[in-house]
């Protein structure tokens, strides 16, 4: 594997993690809209670096968009996988494992060390999805 493929794989992994974070944080409300916008901007830059304009058009639902499932559901998150498919490799899986594991462990650490009487339920959800996502991704990384 050459350096360019490794770079594109790592960047594709970060783009995938970014889309997961956007969805997770938007649903749980753990971060402010400004932080969510910043994550979205960095994610789109990573998507462009990994897949170019074609990947951006696929996520946006452009003419060369996606699978039948993505067209049927209309859910923007289903368009991410086809957009990153060409650049995804073992390095992407490794980035996904490390980042999702870090999110899961960090969320549970914040939950345990929270000083409030009722810590945010979103931390529990983020921890659960982070650790489970890391375990599922680990199966693909060691394949």
Q: How far apart are CA 133 and CA 96, in angstroms?
A: 8
pLDDT digits (tens, 9 = 90+) for 4-47: 999 999 999 999 999 999 998 898 888 899 999 999 999 999 99
The separation between CA 97 and the C-alpha centre of its own chain, rounded to angstroms, equals 11
CA angle 23, 11, 74 (to 5 degrees): 35
Q: Where would I find the H helices in the chain?
A: 3-28, 33-60, 68-73, 80-84, 90-113, 121-141
Structure tokens at 15: 């783009």
DSSP 8-state symbol, 32? -
Q: Is the pLDDT of residue 63 over 60?
A: no
pLDDT digits (tens, 9 = 90+) for 28-40: 888 899 999 999 9
| Residue 21: closest CA among 46, 55, 4 | 46
Higher-confidence position of 19 and 142:
19
Q: Give the whole-number percent of the chain exceeding pLDDT 90.
A: 50
**Mean pLDDT along residues 73-87:** 82
Q: How far apart are CA 5 and CA 140, in angstroms?
A: 18
In contact, 137 and 96? CB cutoff 8 Å: yes
């Amino acid at each position: 594997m050459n350096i360019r493929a490794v770079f594109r794989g790592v960047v594709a992994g970060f783009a995938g993690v970014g889309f997961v974070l956007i969805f997770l944080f938007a649903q749980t409300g753990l971060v402010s809209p400004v932080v969510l916008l910043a994550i979205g901007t960095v994610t789109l830059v990573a998507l462009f670096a990994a897949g170019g304009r074609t990947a951006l058009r696929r996520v946006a639902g452009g003419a060369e968009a996606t699978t039948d499932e993505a067209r049927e559901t209309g859910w923007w998150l289903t368009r991410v996988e086809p957009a990153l498919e060409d650049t995804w490799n073992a390095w992407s899986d490794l980035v996904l494992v490390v980042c999702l594991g870090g999110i899961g462990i960090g969320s549970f650490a914040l939950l345990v060390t929270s000083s409030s009487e009722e810590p945010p339920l979103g931390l529990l959800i983020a921890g659960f999805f982070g650790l489970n996502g890391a375990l599922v991704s680990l199966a693909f990384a060691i394949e």
